[in-house]
A and B are shown apart, each in its own frame.
With several copies, the nearest count.
Chain A
């Protein structure tokens, strides 16, 4: 193929985008909406994965210190717990800290606590490497003298974990299914668009054009269509997510991942789907009309 033919294909592809008028608009907006749905789902999924692993890493139990233990002995206890296998971090919450937290929580109702003294015990918050180990480690902590009681969600934790696993796996399956269906929807739109131009393709073939020559401008057109169709939702998602992430105040473990990290994962998928199906799908679905 001669160089100028490349130039021609580019120009024709671009021209067609305009000459097909609202048909181009319909196809682009169809691709854009599909990718928008896909993008939102991807963002949710990415954040969900993140929250789940946050929660997993946050899983912890509390150990209450009996009131017989002197304040000066607390660091010894802390060291003892820290040295157990599988313990990641141990934090001391003194009874005074616990009380002030409770007062803050109660806010205007904090008066209710007045005159009660401080009924709360000193407390260690124990984080572990693997949340599945909590029961074992907790029972070891119970055996340390000076620890009055350990407290954790009992059967709640393993159940919670199994739920997380289910949610995570489902969301991955869901996203893959959604990508496949998005591809189907987009290629469907493209297929119908090509169908409206089957006569055009047949005529070109009858006038002596090779398959490659006919495909050239369609390829350019499909590529542009894919890029525009991915660009629109990517702008919407980027701006929208940035806005939400700035304005919706959450707290760990329910925090939204930072904008750039999420977009780095989501946008390439959108562009890949849009471009791939826009250009390649167009070329593929015109095959049948080239058989003239």
Chain B
């Protein structure tokens, strides 16, 4: 489902964020990506929906060969990947419900279905009473949950989440994780970068540890590691 073959990423300023990463994630897997700050987790994730392009190597996501993709095809590839960005990336001019609905308008879903799904998702992340508010009227954790709702609303076949619980209290974090597990049970692939040791250790899934741009560890049913 997701495959990287000897992927390198050097940013314009000369920083090499990834050095020869090869990995294969099957459809329906649940993968934690862990590692210290600046290790290259976000870069690893950004390559999957082509926010960044690799300097070298091959990437396949779903049926798409990411580097060969024509510009016109990029949006269609992205519709298969629900992304929760580390910095949320909410549209400031749109209300919470408009933000979530946007992902469905893009695929030209019917109005009725959109309304129904948006309502469902906002209920799931516990923000139905803030539906009419704008992002800058929300707390950090609330914004993060809007981002989660937007990523899931389309039922994408892959969910890619960059620290989706960074701004959430343990309770809410657990709920989001439960949500992911439910979605994962239905066959959705989930790749989640996280610093949350509690979650990782409590759920025991596949763990990919990235350190200095390389895969340092890749364990089925792994733990967070880095214990002192």
Bitwise, B67-96 to A at CB < 8 A (1) or not (0) is 000011011101100010100011111000
**Neighbouring B residues of A200 by C-beta, 8 Å:** 91-93
Known: A207-B78, A208-B75, A292-B51. A213 touches B106 (CB 8 A): yes
Is A37 interfacial (CB-CB < 8 Å)? Answer: no
Known: A16-B93, A292-B51. A206 touches B78 (CB 8 A): yes
Is B185 interfacial (CB-CB < 8 Å)? Answer: no
Stretch of A2-10, A80-88, A138-146, A265-273 on the interface side: A2-10
Bitwise, B98-112 to A at CB < 8 A (1) or not (0) is 000011011110110
A205 to B103 Cα, complex, angstroms: 10
**Neighbouring B residues of A2 by C-beta, 8 Å:** 108
How close is A209's CB to chain B, nearest CB, in angstroms? 5
Bitwise, A182-216 to B at CB < 8 A (1) or not (0) is 00000000000000000010011111111101000
Of the candidates B51, B72, B93, the one whose C-beta lies within 8 Å of that of A20 is B93
Is there an interface contact between B111 and A4, defined as CB atoms closer than 8 Å?
A: yes
Q: Which chain A residue has the least Cβ–Cβ distance from B92?
A: A200
Q: Which DSSP category, helix, strand, loop or mixed, fits chain A's interface? A: helix
CB pairs A–B below 8 angstroms (19 shown): A1-B108, A4-B108, A4-B111, A5-B105, A5-B108, A8-B105, A16-B93, A20-B93, A200-B93, A203-B89, A203-B91, A204-B102, A207-B83, A208-B75, A208-B79, A208-B154, A209-B102, A210-B72, A292-B51
A1-B108, A207-B150, A210-B106 given; name 17 further pairs at CB < 8 Å.
Answer: A4-B108, A4-B110, A5-B105, A16-B93, A200-B91, A203-B89, A204-B91, A205-B75, A206-B78, A206-B83, A206-B89, A207-B83, A207-B103, A208-B78, A209-B106, A213-B105, A292-B51
Q: CB within 8 Å of A: which residues of B?
A: 49, 51, 71-72, 74-76, 78-79, 83, 85, 89-93, 102-103, 105-108, 110-111, 150, 154
